[in-house]
Structure 1
Amino acid sequence: MARPKDDDPDMFRIIVATDIHLGYMEKDPARGNDSLVSFEEILEIASKNNADFVLLGGDLFHENKPSRRTLHGCMALLRKYCMGDKPIQYEFLSDQSVNFDHCQFPTLNYDDPNLNISMPVLSIHGNHDDPTGQGNLCSLDILHTAGLVNYFGKTSNLEKIQLSPLLFQKGTTKVCLYGLGSVRDERLHRMFVHKNVTMLRPKENQEDWFNMFVVHQNRSKHSATNYIPEQFLDDFLDLIIWGHEHECRIDPEWNGIQNFYVSQPGSSVATSLSEGETVKKHIGLLQIKGKDFMMKKIPLETVRPFYMEDIVLGETSLNPDDHNVLKKVEAFCTEKVETLLDKAAMEHTGNRKQPTKALIRLRIDYTGFEPFSIHRFGQKFVDRVANPKDLVLFHRRKAGVKKEESGADNELLAKIRPQSLDSARVEDMVRDYFGQVEETSKLQLLTEKGMGDAVKEYVDKEEREAISELVKYQLQKTQDHLKVRNASEDRIDKEVTHYREERKKRKEEDEEVAEALKRAHSMRSQSEDHPCDDDRMSLDSDEESRTTRGRGRGRGSRSRGAKETTRGRGSRGGRGSRGGRGQMKEPVIATNGNRSILDAFASSSSSASQRSARGGNKRKTYSGMDMSDDDDVVTIDDEDPFDISSSSRKQKSQRKTTSRRGVAFDSDSDDDIIPLPKRRR
């Protein structure tokens, strides 16, 4: 890895950053603006270093659906620093319609004649801002359509992934850039195992290209398949930019098996109070000439300082049998916090945009001691630290039999790098819940993994139909299996349990969840493409109810004990009654969102007597209303809508009534009804 010379016309200068997490804790009064401040510093560094473009490795936004404030702040910064008259000094050689075929405008923004782009931004999506919902869109699609970001690395085929690179050339230097947005680790792991991930390469002069790959996946091993081993990646690559992991390890690390370097820039804002976030934050200036490159570390000066310290009370001079030990422990921890605050003040970068309130975390092993109040302790530093509510974390040492470890084991364990998860995963919580419940409450038909994935889609991406569609799909598969097996009634339970275990062994949960999500997307697309029937039904019923008003004075629904529903003036119009001019006591409410207007006016058996009482006139009752009270029955004439005479009569009636609409109040008292002004004839 030779050092390229600065200001070389053949050298690419690329700013590399990942996991910016715009919008993280945006409602927090102290930390709400941290992510936007760090993002502005990244763009400022890129502008000062005359970067050819900015390369982002996913998780630009912290939320799948960022707030308007966050989205507006991001767009304002991109417009401020990325637009200008500076010419682009390199060529783009690949087919843009292939690289950006997922976008409505499949072109680079600096090639758009309507835009002036001086510093392009290229980005893949991460697991926080991944595509979802109708159209499979994400926030980066919005930025790409607005001409502010070039969004690449999006794949819609979850069975086989074929990566087509972005080809750049500057003088004699050729860069081949691959990108893959975040995919569920288990699914991508299986696809790599089955050789279903391929990378296309230029046909001519393949050895002249510098090959980069930007990926956003788990790098550390959380389980057998919940990560992507570096050995899965092709060995022709020269450099891997690895997103998703927040610990800054931006110095390229050599992989001797695959013969490539791996750079992990880490996040630009601390999203968890874990040990990996305490490492100083950097971004990289990647300089490439020919096949040589260098990653120059650039520290971020506006990042909020974060300090953590582990305390084991059993290893201090404190005596747990002291009657005043609780106050002494609290005083000891207060002294530790004061020391860390002094360290934060000394190490302040001097940048006026860097926050003065630091993040402080004390992880206290209180085995043998009693814990003090965390909230009361945090109130002492409410104006001096950014996280007074979670300043202290108490934990106990797990009791267990210590096993004798050999010297080789101790040496191996010392080399293991501890990794911390940002937060508990929803799917793990679902699996743990069903693993601890009683036998009678455990899942018999569904699998814990499939249910956990469906709940995760509902929680993270608001996919409301994911759980119900998964239940329907798995139920349908089980019913089909039972039909094929022709199981007797006494063996149904055993067959269902056996079939469930077979699906778990074949690992069909991912396919079932994918099919359920596909059905949920199609259902939402249909519901959004067609207006809701309830709205049309309520409007139509309102118009019909107004046209049924008569002019009779004392012929309400309970006039002289009559039980039939007539077109009287009021809903309870006895003699002397002052009805609400045809207003109903309760509004018509649809009970089923999926019913059509024809279903809503289905005939009811209770209307038979009404039809006979009106001399054979056909009536229809609204099936969504309570039939226990005659006052709540709305009757509608069954007239042919295409009959000329009936339509003309209805038009005349509507002309008389539509101009006299009032507000209906739900009240049985005549005193609460506001009379409407009479119209002069």
Structure 2
Amino acid sequence: MLMNFKFAHIADCHLDTYSRSNVLQNELNLSFSNAIESAIKNNVNFVLICGDLFNNASPTLSTLVFAIENLKKLKDRKIPVYAIAGSHDFMPSGHTILNVLNAADLTINAYNPVNEENAELNLIQHRDTNIYIGGIIGRIRGLDRQLYDQIKIRPKENAFNIFMFHNGIEEFKPKIMKNTEFLPLSCLPKGFNYYAAGHIHEFFETKINEGKSTLLFPGSPYPTNIGDFGQQNRNQYVLVEVRDNNIYTKRIRTYEHDFVVLNIEMKKAKINEIEAKLDNLVKNTDFSNKVVILKVKAKIEDGKAGDVNISEVEDKIMKRGALVVEKNLSGLTSGTILKTRFDKGSSAREIEERIAGENTGIVKIDGMDAEKEKKIILELINVLKISKKPGQTNAVYEDEFVASCRKIFDV
């Protein structure tokens, strides 16, 4: 039977990623809205969301409302959304925020194994068609691997079968993730027509099963970390059209504004050399209505990272029309940091006290002696050890963290 239909393949939206940046949060949300609006405009028959719709299992209320409002646009037009949880929006307890969306009839859970003793994935028939959809959830640290061994996954005969999953494939992993272990291709069930993937934040498409099937990672609708900005093959959803059982794919841009990445790498440099290079980059770049990512990597020979006047550079960029400046300065290091040696068998607390004691005074602060600085460093380490409680929202966790820090600094 020859079939003709269209669907949208979306993954790794990571809504709620930029809770501390209103501009980036708005841009991220807009990319998701754009994907939904584009899917509607292209008259898709259904939408696939292949994991990590949210950046965590407990998104803020405003983010949840935003997602509901956009998914409702699809529901109002009778466009079903088939979804699986990813490694970010799935709790170790087995719960996922997607349960709320499923209960509200805004999404359909494509991970639906039946018969606990001899588990088999129950494929969902799309309406009254010959299209069947099923999937396996993604879990942190590759814990979903065992599900592929435990659950029988069999396509329907004489039908168009779609398998959704949220994991990388070992044979096709990006070079930047060469040390990360993913699913071997042999783990995927055989006989499906389309393998709808998520988890890898860049576009990748290939044929498998002797060229009879398509496997595709769509990338993410918007960069979800600084490393994603400026990278090729990212930031879109994929429109899939099946014509006479042949599969055709088209990448659809979802983000609103372009990115500018300012990247400086110097093995060793003096502060004035770093600032001069930054100033030269800023003078010769147009930032109008753009998101700017500033990355600096260098070993400072005559000071510390805090001595580089990054705030002045940021001000210049904003005055030249940028929407926002996001900074990655983790590669900016100083030769003034002391190297500390430890005796074998030293406890964690002994190591912390030694490091704090030997590195005080590097940053001069009025009214603070070495003992007071050491005390503050150790108290901050204790605060940083506090993990988010199960079920605790990011907002509550962040408020408690800030309150603890304020108490340490008496502000």
Q: Structure 2-normalised TM-score?
A: 0.69
Cross-structure match for 2:224: 271
CA displacement 1:348-400 (0-9 Å, x = unmatched)? xxxxxxxx24132334344878662434533433554455461545357xxxx
Cross-structure match for 1:43: 36
1:334 alignment partner, SS class: helix
State the AA in 2 paired with 1:333. Answer: L
State the AA in 1 paired with 2:87. Answer: N
Distance 1:460 1:288 in 2: 45
Cross-structure match for 1:63: 56
Answer 1 or 2: which has greater helix percent: 1
Contact between 2:7 and 2:46, CA under 8 Å: does it hold in 1? yes
Change (3 A) 1:388 1:289: closer
Contact between 2:202 and 2:219, CA under 8 Å: does it hold in 1? yes
Contact between 1:243 and 1:265, CA under 8 Å: does it hold in 2? yes
Cross-structure match for 2:276: 331
1:288 aligns with 2:288: no
Contact between 1:213 and 1:241, CA under 8 Å: does it hold in 2? yes
Distance 1:328 1:209 in 2: 64
Cross-structure match for 1:213: 163
> Residues 239-278 of structure 1: matches in 2 within 5 Å?
239-249=194-204, 252-255=205-208, 260-275=213-228, 278=231
The alpha-carbon deviation at position 293 of structure 1 amounts to 1.0
Distance 2:41 2:312 in 1: 46
Contact between 2:221 and 2:255, CA under 8 Å: does it hold in 1? no
Distance 2:229 2:186 in 1: 24
Contact between 1:286 and 1:293, CA under 8 Å: does it hold in 2? yes
Change (3 A) 1:137 1:79: same
Distance 1:376 1:365 in 2: 18
Contact between 1:155 and 1:181, CA under 8 Å: does it hold in 2? no
The alpha-carbon deviation at position 262 of structure 1 amounts to 1.9
Choose from 137, 141, 145 the match for 1:181: 137
Choose from 462, 473, 488 the match for 2:390: 462
1:164 aligns with 2:70: no
2:9 alignment partner, SS class: strand
Change (3 A) 1:234 1:147: closer
1:79 aligns with 2:72: yes
Distance 2:281 2:249 in 1: 37
Distance 1:264 1:35 in 2: 19
1:23 aligns with 2:23: no
Change (3 A) 1:224 1:54: same
State the AA in 1 paired with 2:164. Answer: V
The alpha-carbon deviation at position 271 of structure 1 amounts to 1.5
Change (3 A) 1:49 1:24: same
The alpha-carbon deviation at position 272 of structure 1 amounts to 0.9
State the AA in 1 paired with 2:345. Answer: E
Cross-structure match for 2:331: 394
Contact between 2:259 and 2:290, CA under 8 Å: does it hold in 1? no
The alpha-carbon deviation at position 258 of structure 1 amounts to 8.2
The alpha-carbon deviation at position 242 of structure 1 amounts to 1.4
CA displacement 1:433-459 (0-9 Å, x = unmatched)? xxx9953648xxxxxxxxxxxxxxx94
Choose from 224, 234, 254 the match for 1:300: 254
Which structure 2 segments of 5+ residues have no match? Answer: 334-341, 349-385, 393-411
Cross-structure match for 2:376: none
The alpha-carbon deviation at position 295 of structure 1 amounts to 0.9
CA displacement 1:89-120 (0-9 Å, x = unmatched)? xxxxxxxxxxxxxxxxxxxxxxxxxxxxx212
CA displacement 1:173-202 (0-9 Å, x = unmatched)? x3332211113444333555xx43420333
Change (3 A) 1:256 1:149: closer
Distance 1:247 1:27 in 2: 24
Distance 1:276 1:262 in 2: 25
Choose from 111, 115, 132 the match for 1:153: 111
State the AA in 2 paired with 1:335. Answer: N
Cross-structure match for 1:200: 154
Which structure 1 segments of 5+ residues have no match? Answer: 1-8, 85-117, 346-355, 397-435, 443-457, 465-681
Choose from 131, 138, 145 the match for 2:96: 138
Change (3 A) 1:185 1:167: farther
1:381 alignment partner, SS class: helix
> Residues 335-346 of structure 1: matches in 2 within 5 Å?
335-339=280-284, 341-342=285-286, 345=288
Cross-structure match for 1:233: 188
The alpha-carbon deviation at position 51 of structure 1 amounts to 0.9
> Residues 78-157 of structure 1: matches in 2 within 5 Å?
78-84=71-77, 118-131=78-91, 136-153=94-111
1:439 alignment partner, SS class: coil
Distance 1:131 1:156 in 2: 21
Distance 1:254 1:437 in 2: 55
Change (3 A) 1:336 1:152: same
1:311 aligns with 2:256: no
Distance 2:388 2:248 in 1: 38
Distance 2:211 2:184 in 1: 11
Cross-structure match for 2:403: none
Change (3 A) 1:127 1:218: same
- CA RMSD in angstroms comes to 3.7
Change (3 A) 1:291 1:361: same
Cross-structure match for 1:381: 317
Distance 2:206 2:99 in 1: 32
Choose from 292, 295, 299 the match for 1:359: 292
> Residues 5-24 of structure 1: matches in 2 within 5 Å?
10-24=3-17
Answer 1 or 2: which has greater strand percent: 2
Higher relative contact order (CA 8 A, sep 6+): 2
Distance 1:14 1:389 in 2: 34
Identity rate, percent: 20
The alpha-carbon deviation at position 169 of structure 1 amounts to 7.0
The alpha-carbon deviation at position 138 of structure 1 amounts to 2.3
State the AA in 1 paired with 2:5. Answer: F
Q: Structure 1-normalised TM-score?
A: 0.44
The alpha-carbon deviation at position 276 of structure 1 amounts to 6.9
Change (3 A) 1:225 1:437: farther
Contact between 2:27 and 2:255, CA under 8 Å: does it hold in 1? no
